[in-house]
Amino acid sequence: MTALLEIRDLKKHFPIHKGVFSRVAGQVRAVDGISFHIDRGETLGLVGESGCGKSTAGRTLLRLLEPTSGQILIGGEDITDLDAKALMPFRQRMQMIYQDPYASLNPRMTAGDIVGEPLTIHRTCAPNERNERVAALFTRVGLRPALMHSYPHEFSGGQRQRVGIARALALNPALIVGDEPVSALDVSIQAQIINLLMDLQDEYKLSYLFVAHDLGVVEHISHRVAVMYLGRIVEMTDKLSLFEAPLHPYTEALLSAVPIPKSGARGRKRVILTGDVPSPINPPSGCHFHTRCPYAMQRCRNEEPALREVIANHLAACHLHDSGVRLPLAKAG
């Protein structure tokens, strides 16, 4: 079966301009050659530290940012180089939920107009049916239709994010990219929004790319998880395998930092990473993680590890597995 979304060696580099003539003096390698797929009805969690490139990856695969190189396929069709007109039908199939539920809503428009705007742009329903469709979307995301005439500043944070979800659903998309959609919300509201997204996925057979840094949220909503570090994917597998037996030292460090009750912490190794995340302008040679890795060896400094299947359906980019080293992290929860 063809995957709903397939990304092949996707790169997004931002040029650095200097001088009077704005010559290109370097590149910010925000996304530096990533590949993955998302099946229909599946959620892929994309995790990593701030600045690792995960949000840029989400925006680039939606063509909100133009890719530097690589391929983006939707249902087997390559959309990488399509112009704006040819891309329009695919826009209906791909939508986004943004991190900030206030900044992503036009303060001059009512909530009903915000949710109905995609219907107007793509002309997917008659004008006399628009309000009925918007009211149904409000009801589905847990908002009263009477709020259609209210403005964004009149809503709470959780309500604003529900408006954003309703807008994303307006065109009946197949894929939704969630760019840390719950990180700006209170914990109790986070749970409500996550449960809503999961219910919508079951009802509409949606696929999600869920960008986040909260591993607890990712574990709850995702089927598979991809871990990013400095523009590259370093590990990818199903969530159970990732949380119980990570195969990359960076994943090991991330999981060891997840707070768990004292009763479950016995025997768990705490991994403290030294140093700062290197600059994406001038990333380290070889494995990008070797400057902070407690297991780094000479090969890591010189040779870039390929993302490969170490065990069945569990991919990792680490030279340790060629030398038989097993990471000591205990089960994280």
Residue 247's pLDDT is what?
93
Nearest-CA neighbor of 316 among 211, 224, 246?
Answer: 246
Q: Report whether 256 contacts 270 (CB < 8 A).
A: yes
137 Cα distance to chain centroid: 24
For the stretch 187-191, contacts whose Cβ atoms lie closer than 8 Å and that sit 24 or more positions apart, written own/partner, are 189/157, 189/158, 189/161, 190/217
Q: Does residue 279 form part of some domain?
A: yes
Q: Report whether 23 contacts 79 (CB < 8 A).
A: no
Cα 176 to Cα 41, 86, 201, distances in angstroms: 11, 20, 10
Q: Does residue 159 form part of some domain?
A: no
Residue 9's pLDDT is what?
97
Q: What total number of domains does the chain contain?
A: 1
Q: Does residue 152 form part of some domain?
A: no
Q: Does residue 113 form part of some domain?
A: no
Range of 252's domain? 246-333
Q: Cα–Cα distance between 164 and 19 in angstroms, integer?
A: 41
Q: Does residue 293 form part of some domain?
A: yes
Residue 209: in which H helix or E strand, if any?
strand 207-212
Full-model pTM: 0.91
pLDDT by residue, tens only, the chain of 333 residues: 789 999 999 999 999 988 877 888 889 999 999 999 999 999 999 999 888 999 999 999 999 999 999 999 999 999 999 999 999 999 999 999 999 888 899 999 999 999 999 999 998 888 889 999 999 999 999 999 999 999 999 999 999 999 999 999 999 999 999 999 998 888 889 999 999 999 999 999 999 999 998 888 999 999 999 999 999 999 999 999 999 999 999 999 998 877 665 444 445 567 777 778 888 999 999 999 999 998 889 999 999 999 999 999 999 999 988 866 666 543 433
Q: Report whether 207 contacts 175 (CB < 8 A).
A: yes
Q: Report whether 262 contacts 274 (CB < 8 A).
A: no
Residue 167: in which H helix or E strand, if any?
helix 157-169
Q: Does residue 202 form part of some domain?
A: no
Residue 263's pLDDT is what?
42
Residue 326's pLDDT is what?
62
Q: Cα–Cα distance between 194 and 158 in angstroms, integer?
A: 11
Residue 333's pLDDT is what?
38
Q: Does residue 160 form part of some domain?
A: no
For 205-230, write each residue's pLDDT tens digit. Answer: 999 999 998 888 999 999 999 999 99
Q: Report whether 206 contacts 38 (CB < 8 A).
A: no
Nearest-CA neighbor of 140 among 187, 218, 202?
Answer: 202
Q: Cα–Cα distance between 171 and 180 in angstroms, integer?
A: 21
Q: φ, ψ for residue 177 (rounded to 5)?
A: -95, 120
For 34-47, write each residue's pLDDT tens digit. Answer: 999 999 999 999 99
The SS3 of residue 308 is strand
Residue 330's pLDDT is what?
38
Q: Does residue 33 form part of some domain?
A: no
